[in-house]
């Protein structure tokens, strides 16, 4: 199974979801280097409030960078260019939130996103994204709740961290 790519979703669903957070999705042509990409190649890039992607960008990459934008504080969002930074707790929260957001991008869902994360090589000490999410992500969940980024029903609040 190959991972779901941004081209599989098309521009409208991504812009609709990410626009709720004030992000603009900028599509670049396949033969163009993605601006603001920390990892290079086909990975999504962040510059200020713009998420840069190509058709071959994995959806999990677009969501991961989006969640960094959501989870970073205002001072880091101001002047953001390429390196989202963040600490261990924030990185875990980013992974957790991207799984929740996947449910809002049909035909993608949380299960498919976790399978894509595993396939791409995300590393979790319990061996898979599914096991981590179900058994070991309490700290990420608590962090997101404390920051007001998910509600008591584990749904996104559509707010940015302040």
Q: Which residue has the tokens 């700290």?
A: 139
User: Residues 52, 97: one domain?
Assistant: no
User: Residues 34, 62: one domain?
Assistant: yes
Which pLDDT score is estimated for 121? 87
Contact indicator for 101, 117 with CB cutoff of 8 Å: no
CA distance 131 to 6: 26
Chain segment 136-160, per-residue pLDDT in tens: 999 999 999 999 999 999 999 999 9
Could you tell me if residue 117 is inside a domain?
A: yes
User: Residues 72, 15: one domain?
Assistant: yes
Could you tell me if residue 94 is inside a domain?
A: yes
User: Residues 118, 72: one domain?
Assistant: no
With pLDDT > 90 as the criterion, what percentage of the chain qualifies? 91
In this structure, the chain runs to a length of: 162
Could you tell me if residue 160 is inside a domain?
A: no
Could you tell me if residue 157 is inside a domain?
A: no
Chain segment 54-89, per-residue pLDDT in tens: 999 999 999 999 999 999 999 999 999 999 989 999
pTM of the entire structure? 0.95
Interval 7-31 mean pLDDT: 96
9 burial level (CB within 10 Å; 0-12, 13-18, 19+): middle
Contact indicator for 24, 48 with CB cutoff of 8 Å: no
Q: Which domain holds residue 23?
A: 6-77
Which pLDDT score is estimated for 72? 97
User: Residues 67, 111: one domain?
Assistant: no
Chain segment 94-115, per-residue pLDDT in tens: 999 999 999 999 999 999 999 9
Could you tell me if residue 61 is inside a domain?
A: yes
User: Residues 10, 72: one domain?
Assistant: yes
Among residues 44, 77, 110, the one where a domain terminates is 77
Which pLDDT score is estimated for 1? 63
Contact indicator for 95, 40 with CB cutoff of 8 Å: no
The pLDDT confidence band at residue 125, using thresholds 50, 70 and 90, is confident
Question: Which two tokens mark 93?
Answer: 């929260």
What is the overall mean pLDDT for the chain? 95
How many domains are contained in the chain?
2
Radius of gyration of the chain (CA): 14
Interval 20-42 mean pLDDT: 95
What is the sign of the dihedral through the CA atoms of 7, 11, 13 and 18?
positive
Interval 31-50 mean pLDDT: 95
CA distance 120 to 14: 20
């Amino acid at each position: 199974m190959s991972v779901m790519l941004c081209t599989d979703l098309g521009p409208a669903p991504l812009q609709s979801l990410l626009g709720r957070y004030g992000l603009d999705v900028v599509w670049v042509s396949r033969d163009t280097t993605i601006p603001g990409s920390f990892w290079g190649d086909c990975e999504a890039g962040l510059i200020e409030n713009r998420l840069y992607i190509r058709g071959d960008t994995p959806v999990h990459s677009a969501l991961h960078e989006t969640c960094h934008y959501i989870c970073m504080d205002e001072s880091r969002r101001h002047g953001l260019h390429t390196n989202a930074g963040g600490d261990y707790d924030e990185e875990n929260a980013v992974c957790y939130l991207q799984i929740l957001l996947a449910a809002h991008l049909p035909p993608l869902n949380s299960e498919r996103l976790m399978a894509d994360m595993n396939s791409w090589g995300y590393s979790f000490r319990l061996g898979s994204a599914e096991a981590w999410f179900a058994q070991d992500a309490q700290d990420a969940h608590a962090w997101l709740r404390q920051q007001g980024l998910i509600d008591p029903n584990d749904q996104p609040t559509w707010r940015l961290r302040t």
